[in-house]
Amino acid sequence: MAKAMKKDLMDSNPDGLTNKGVNMYTKAQEQYKKWGIDTEAAIKKCAEISVSLHCWQGDDIAGFENTGAALSGGIQATGNYPGKARNKDELMRDLDLVFSLIPGKKRLNLHEIYAISDNDSPVKRDQPECRHFDPWLTWAKARNIGIDFNPTLFSHPMAASGLTLSSPDKNIRDFWIRHVKACRKIAAYIGEKQGSPSLHNIWIPDGLKDVPADRLGPRQRLKESLDEIFSVHYDKNHIIDVVESKVFGIGLESYTVGSSDFYLGYAAKAGINVLLDNGHYHPTELVSDKISSFLLSFDKIALHVTRPVRWDSDHVVLFEDEVKEIAKEIIRNDAEDRVLIGLDYFDASINRVAAWVIGARNMQKALLNALLMPHGDLKKLQDTGNFSKLLVCQEELKTLPFGAVWDEYLLRQHITGSDWYGTVEKYENDVLKFR
């Protein structure tokens, strides 16, 4: 890092004191107080909201099957930055560093392909068992972290046609039904063991590259496959079932079987919930605008927070307007317990540990930012038609000293301030470089 830049980062005041000894946080606290905002309450609340970290940023969604199968299903991890995790020990070690650099309450989101075999051969896709996730449970328990779970219906010969649960081939459908049934069983087992429900999210790649001759048939088959999968009932204290829709995938541009409309209707009827990934909608459609609608019809909603750049590219999450707006919708509607926040991005072009940390810290920043707003007053301005003042306030709030409160939050959480990247650089030189 250039000397000037390093000095800059250090001057940004990790201990909350300026050179003159004035505490930046105390000053910020006063400024927020003028707006009726309690920074102490915001800091406390922020630390209680769970964010589920996706394990797949660490290895470009490779998993532990070691079959050499390329990532498929219309998603892509682009880049070839050295140092990706090659096995469970490396992934767990990377995750430990990542978790040590992120404030707040964390969960870990696993995919089935991260099953840990107890012999020399990798776990077969349609035969995962609960015990294959015991080492993850032990790891998570020692760190007081909950686990969420996803079946993996891609990167496998049985998904080569681009169709899984909606395939016209019964053998293929049955294979994936077996897979998802096994995964729900595992999620319920994890939920029971950890004493809090595990989120089980079904995303399938199914779609067609070109103009369909039949749109109903695949959707009918997907519905039947899901009916079969959800005919098995588990305790809701152990598993929360969600389905994740999508607009299109690479190579599957013309038709997506599991569209938003499909899953919305299906979930409502089946008594399950939906997961919204903000990379899975048309560019002018915003997840932040959808949350309130879902809150009125569903008891829970799950999110995959990501950053789509021109397509569902899964870039690292930034502290940007839509992420801030998503957080505001959660906070201003008191929906922290009903909106299950997860991250979903996979950038292979930069240090993967840094990618994880940047995105997760930005999600935390968005939550803290939303907690530092006088939502009641702003709603009143809207309801009394005082739109000029509303706009003034919304804009003025943007320049309050958020950074000082963020630094204080990190300090209280015993998390490194803005110079955290030094730790990652050291890890890259000491560990990642040798992979």
Active-site residue list: 203, 244, 246, 277, 280, 304, 312, 314, 344
**Between 190 and 371, whose beta carbon lies closer to ligand RNT?**
190
13 binds ligand RNT (CB under 6 A): no
56 binds ligand RNT (CB under 6 A): yes
Residue of 84, 246, 307, 352 interacting with ligand RNT (CB under 6 A): 246
Q: How many other C-beta atoms lie within 10 A of the C-beta of residue 399? A: 8
61 binds ligand RNT (CB under 6 A): yes
**Between 281 and 420, whose beta carbon lies closer to Zn ion?**
281
Q: CA 435, CA 428: separation in Å to the nearest integer?
A: 10
304 binds ligand RNT (CB under 6 A): yes
CB 318 within 8 A of CB 356: no
Residue of 62, 75, 159, 302 interacting with ligand RNT (CB under 6 A): 75
CA 383 and chain centroid, separation: 33
Nearest residue relative to ligand RNT (C-beta): 203
In the beta sheet, which residues pair with residue 284?
none
Contacting positions for Zn ion (CB under 5 A): 277, 304, 344
Residue of 59, 65, 344, 428 interacting with ligand RNT (CB under 6 A): 344
Q: CA 112, CA 369: separation in Å to the nearest integer?
A: 34
Q: Least distance (Å) from ligand RNT to the CB of residue 71?
A: 9
Q: Which does 61 bind (CB under 5 to 8 A by kind): Zn ion, ligand RNT, none?
A: ligand RNT
Nearest by Cα to 204 from 149, 171, 162:
162
Nearest by Cα to 27 from 408, 422, 420:
408
The alpha carbons of the chain give a radius of gyration, in whole angstroms, of 22
Q: Least distance (Å) from ligand RNT to the CB of residue 316?
A: 14
Q: Which stretches of 195-320 are DSSP H helices?
A: 216-229, 260-270, 287-297
Q: Which does 352 bind (CB under 5 to 8 A by kind): ligand RNT, Zn ion, none?
A: none
Q: Which stretches of 88-201 are DSSP H helices?
A: 88-100, 134-142, 170-194
Q: Least distance (Å) from Zn ion to the CB of residue 326?
A: 14
Q: CA 66, CA 117: separation in Å to the nearest integer?
A: 11
- Local structure of 198: helix, strand or coil: strand
Which residues bind to ligand RNT, rule: CB under 6 A?
A: 56, 61, 75, 150, 203, 244, 246, 277, 304, 312, 344
